[in-house]
Amino acid sequence: MSTPTESSETRALNFRRFKDGDHQVKRWVEQIFDADHSHKCPTYIQSAPPCQASCPSGEDIRGYLNIARGIEKPPAGTKWQEYAWRRLTEANPFPSVMGRVCPAPCESGCNRNQVDDFVGINSVEHFLGDWANANQMAYRRPEARSGKTVAVIGGGPAGLSAAYQLALKGHDVTIFDERAELGGMMRYGIPGFRTPRDVLDQEIQRILDLGVATRLNTRIGRDITLEQIRAQFDAVFLGLGAQSGRPLPVPDSEAPNVVTATAFLKAFNDGRLRHVGKRVVVVGGGDTSIDVASVARRLGHIDQAHEADLPENAIGALAGFAAHESALVSRRQGAEVTLTSVFAIEKMQASRHEVEHALAEGIAIRGGMAPVAVVRDASGRATALRVARCEAKLAGGRLEIKMIPGSEEDIEADLIVSAVGQAVDFTGLEALNNGRGAVAADKNYQVQIGGQAQADVFCGGDVIRPHLLTTAIGHGSIAADGIDRFLRGEAQGKRPKVDVHSFDLMRKMVEKGLPIGHIDAPTWGTDRSAGAVHNFDNRSDRYVIPHKDLFLGHFPYTPRLRRQVTTLTAEEALNNFEERLLPLLEAQAQAEAKRCMSCGLCFECDNCVVYCPQKAVFKVKKSQSTMGRYVDTDYARCIGCHICKDVCPTGYIQMGLGE
């Protein structure tokens, strides 16, 4: 079962208007009571919460959490789990996968961190994704087809995301991929004990069931040219990925047993790599390096290894199955795994919980160490990695490393793995290389070649900049919008400042059968809008609401519910490839969703109605109310006292009209 956070912190004193160090009295009397009129009155402002603004996939996080907690009601006949899952997957078709492996930048941005601890957004996403898989949820096919065709090159997270969004828009999509199975880095770059293959396969198949076609084992630039594809399809999306690893930038790194992380993980996920040497050194510091170290710890080494059993042979696909058979019958023993990083352990880029798991499994992590050279024997194989103590920092987006003279030492190794970055393989596609190992694109992810926009070619994912899986998913979605506009003959417009999916009041009104009006622009000074309460403004595309705009005193200290995680010892990790992370139960997922503060959108707490001294704020009639259309103001009664704003937990009520 899930356990609450171990934090012993007491509730923060968020109700205090004046805090230690304040020296200026905050009074509004002069502004509020100004002759016979009020200075400001309530306005209803829908803002973007920081969780959504921090999500590279652009998920409507507040939306599906409000559905899970029971505030936003699903249409009649729809279960809340399905309604929440459909809201989530409008942006991200991989909730089961991402609920397991995403480092969750949304949680770092969560305003709840100012009260106690962030909302477990990732864990609710995990629950919804697994529920959808268990209940065989399917996407709804579009009613109309456009007749347009799109080629998606690359079946990784960016390509699959683009294909999904384009299929939903009614276009005919074909995915080209050089491998036998789709998934890209989700399949070949992350070990199966973090992304179970049945989960990944189910989420991919759900996309293919929309009518998406595939051409596997087909490499662009070898089996078919990009020019041929552009001639056959109306538009192209490039999601090539960056699946070539970067070698160690030190002397003698070309030794046969010095390999890249991408090659290592691909060999493992292909089933070719069954064991490693007795001593493995991984150079990195990010999540990929943790994955490599964890896999090496599980594989271990075998006694009496022969030449054919050397791990670099399996990684290079040079060995036959005889080597693996000997590995299976030989006594398997643990490997000594060391991970080095130029950053101190607490400043490594890897997720904190992954670092903790690695340490528990007996992986030695040495921070503040930079590789200097590879030490080789007479045969040319590496026998050690020479490192030196260092001080590293990021300055202006560039990594600066200061070596400490005289601190060099050798770490013995039978296998050295470089996890220092990824690169795009442009073989056969050299014209796409912008000279910096990436594809040039504008903010709509339209490809630029030689400074010229390619109207029919878009891109996304690691070909732009290697980053998170969730970033690639977001790129695919945005590029799909651009492709759709191109296919419709529309100009590429300017993307919103806050480019995410958000709550749609119009949809709620349609679901309830209410008449809808135009609410894209503010409706200043009117109480007769059919589309919203008067003085409503949706600023979700340009304004992220900070914690200082919320009434944090409304929220009591509530420990976060954590998913059950299996932490292994060094001995238990050997040959253990079982999943470590279990989803929350339904009641737990709902309870965790209730910790969401619904920043920037009314969650119907009634504070404004209860505390208004003039009875100016009132509930909208049930027959006319929806989520986000719950309270209204009688301006004939309002005196602009600001109390409704002060007690609004979500910051949905703000004061306006006076300036």
In this predicted structure, what is the pLDDT of residue 531? 64
Distance CA 585, CA 587 (A): 6
In this predicted structure, what is the pLDDT of residue 33? 52
Distance CA 343, CA 197 (A): 33
Which comes out higher in pLDDT, residue 593 or 658?
A: 593
Question: Side chain identity at 629, as an amino acid letter?
Answer: R
pLDDT band at 318 (very low <50, low <70, confident <90, very high): very low
Among 621, 603, 613, smallest CA distance to 641 is for: 613
In this predicted structure, what is the pLDDT of residue 23? 66
Among 128, 68, 62, 51, smallest CA distance to 97 is for: 128
Rg over alpha carbons for the chain, rounded to the nearest Å, is: 28
The domains found in the chain, sorted by start residue, are 29-136+500-656 (no CATH), 149-242+424-487 (3.50.50.60), 245-420 (3.50.50.60)
With a CB cutoff of 8 Å and minimum separation 6, the contacts of 477 are 57, 58, 91, 161, 162, 165
Q: Is the dihedral of CA 299, 301, 304, 308 positive or negative?
A: positive
Residue 84: Cβ within 10 Å count: 30
pLDDT band at 604 (very low <50, low <70, confident <90, very high): very high
In this predicted structure, what is the pLDDT of residue 243? 85
What DSSP element (H or E) covers 139? none
pLDDT tens digits for range 190-213: 999 999 999 999 999 999 999 999
Beta bridge partners, 632, equal 618
Q: What is the average per-residue pLDDT within 279-296?
A: 95
List Cα–Cα distances, 206 to 70, 210, 251, 587, in angstroms: 27, 7, 47, 27
Length of the chain: 659
Residues 334 and 300: beta-carbon distance below 8 Å: yes
Distance CA 648, CA 572 (A): 50
- Residue 140, pLDDT above cutoff 80: yes
Q: What is the average per-residue pLDDT within 465-483?
A: 96
Side-chain half-sphere CA neighbours of 123 within 13 A: 26
Residues 614 and 591: beta-carbon distance below 8 Å: no
Encoding tokens for residue 523? Answer: 């409706």
- Residue 310, pLDDT above cutoff 50: yes
Among 149, 54, 156, smallest CA distance to 108 is for: 54
Distance CA 511, CA 153 (A): 38
Query: For the ranges 113-127, 295-309, 343-357, which has the lowest average pLDDT?
Result: 295-309
In this predicted structure, what is the pLDDT of residue 14? 52
Residue 116: Cβ within 10 Å count: 20
Average pLDDT of the residues of the chain: 89
Residues 650 and 597: beta-carbon distance below 8 Å: yes
List Cα–Cα distances, 387 to 186, 373, 405, 410, in angstroms: 31, 7, 11, 6
Among 592, 631, 632, smallest CA distance to 64 is for: 592
pLDDT tens digits for range 30-73: 555 554 555 678 889 999 999 999 999 999 999 999 999 999 99
Residue 435: Cβ within 10 Å count: 6
* SS3 letters across 159-188: HHHHHHHHHHCCCEEEEECCCCCCCCHHHH
Q: What is the DSSP string of 513-546?
A: T------SS--TT-S--SSSSTTEEE-TTT-BPP
List Cα–Cα distances, 595 to 62, 118, 123, 549, in angstroms: 11, 9, 13, 18
Q: What is the average per-residue pLDDT within 78-88?
A: 98
Q: What is the average per-residue pLDDT within 281-286?
A: 95
Among 312, 261, 247, smallest CA distance to 291 is for: 261
With a CB cutoff of 8 Å and minimum separation 6, the contacts of 59 are 52, 88, 91, 92, 106, 125, 500, 501
Q: What is the average per-residue pLDDT within 246-272?
A: 93
In this predicted structure, what is the pLDDT of residue 329? 41
Backbone angles phi, psi at 314, to 5 degrees: -65, -40
In this predicted structure, what is the pLDDT of residue 12? 46
Q: Are strands 422-423 and 244-245 parallel, antiparallel or unpaired?
A: antiparallel
In this predicted structure, what is the pLDDT of residue 8? 38
Residues 536 and 634: beta-carbon distance below 8 Å: no
pLDDT tens digits for range 12-28: 445 455 566 666 655 55
In this predicted structure, what is the pLDDT of residue 35? 46
List Cα–Cα distances, 389 to 284, 375, 386, in angstroms: 15, 17, 11
Q: What is the average per-residue pLDDT within 622-643?
A: 88
End-to-end CA distance of the chain: 53
Beta strands in 266-395 (DSSP E): 279-284, 301-302, 332-333, 336-341, 364-367, 369-376, 382-395
Question: Side chain identity at 315, as an amino acid letter?
Answer: I
